[in-house]
Amino acid sequence: MADSAREMLIPIVGEVTDIRRDTPDVKTFRVVKSDGGGVCFPHMPGQCAMLSVPGVGEAMFSITSSPTNTEYMEFSIKKCGHLTDWLHEMDPGQDITIRGPYGNAFPVETELKGKDLLFIAGGIGLAPLRSVINYVRHYRKNYGTVDIVYGARSVDDLVDIDEIRSEWAGKDGVNVHLTIDRAQEGWDGNVAFVPDYVKQLGFPTTKTALVCGPPIMIKFVLKALETLGFSMSRVYTTFELRMKCGVGKCGRCNIGSKYVCKDGPVFRCDKMDELPDEY
């Protein structure tokens, strides 16, 4: 086994130093290496880590912090089961174990370099794209225009809204387009599902799009981009399907001939032969 593969399998003990509530069911956890501080391992935007708590469970999560941040790693985690329920009850100062990095990354140093970028996210789907967005903001001169379309069911479900408003929107030529599914008191922004809003905004097809959200959103965003004339070779997406073995053996995470754990989670859409079932 290659050294890098062996290192990926060795759990590292991480201390959770900060927990912030983003939405009613999403919290963002800041983790540093217990032994010496800093990040547990280097990663690239789009990659994931396996977080575990002995006796509770383990699961894969996108690393939402940018690799340009070497002080800590962050994970935005939706409460939905054994491990995530436990994590949502924990206090800062406690340890977890962490393995990684897993999966491929968005091609920020190759195909995306110099391109006009369009990020499209729904709900917790912002987590992997936040890593790319902050990487692109860090190396801003290496990329063209940046547009971010982000939507959620309600204002309360918009993850990282403080950072979006104070650090992204209108800074360094970054355009943010927020939307929520249904009108709500106190919200004077756009109201529409993300795919409809993408069509309304009507972006030029010279942009390269990066999409993440629930499968049903991804499906309709891809249709919207096709309607606008986008070639699927200019569209990337990342999937958060259920995984078990994590090494391409159990068939739990397959989409057609591809396995999210082995071939992804990031895919260029012209290379996909089908999309996952909607949930």
Ligand X SMILES: Cc1cc2nc3c(=O)[nH]c(=O)nc-3n(C[C@H](O)[C@H](O)[C@H](O)COP(=O)(O)OP(=O)(O)OC[C@H]3O[C@@H](n4cnc5c(N)ncnc54)[C@H](O)[C@@H]3O)c2cc1C
Q: Which residues bind ligand FES (CB under 6 A)?
A: 243-246, 248-253, 259, 261
251 binds, among ligand X, ligand FES, none (CB under 5 to 8 A by kind): ligand FES
Among 138, 223, 242, 271, binds ligand X (CB under 6 A): 242
Rounded Cα–Cα distance for residues 125 and 128 (Å): 7
105 binds ligand X (CB under 6 A): no
**Residue 93 CB, nearest approach to ligand FES (Å):** 32
Counting contacts by CB under 6 A, is residue 81 touching ligand X? Answer: yes
Can you list the alpha helix ranges (DSSP code H) found in the chain? 3-9, 82-89, 126-138, 161-163, 194-201, 215-227, 260-263
Least distance from C-beta 261 to ligand FES, angstroms? Answer: 3
Residue 235 binding ligand X, by CB under 6 A: no
From the list ligand X, ligand FES, none, pick the one residue 183 interacts with, judged by a Cβ distance below 5 to 8 Å according to partner type: none
Binding to ligand X in span 39-78, by CB under 6 A: 48, 57, 59-62, 76-78
Give the CB-nearest residue to ligand X. 81
- Cβ neighbours of residue 69 closer than 8 Å, sequence gap 6 or more: 39, 134
C-alpha 115: how far from chain center? 20
**Alpha-carbon distance 65 to 55, whole Å?**
27
Residues 243, 255, 266, 272: which binds ligand X (CB under 6 A)?
243
Burial (CB < 10 A; 0-12, 13-18, 19+), residue 151, is buried
Q: How far is CA 118 from the centre of its chain?
A: 14
198 with 229: CB under 8 angstroms? no
Interacting residues with ligand X (CB under 6 A): 48, 57, 59-62, 76-78, 80-84, 124, 127, 240-243, 265, 279
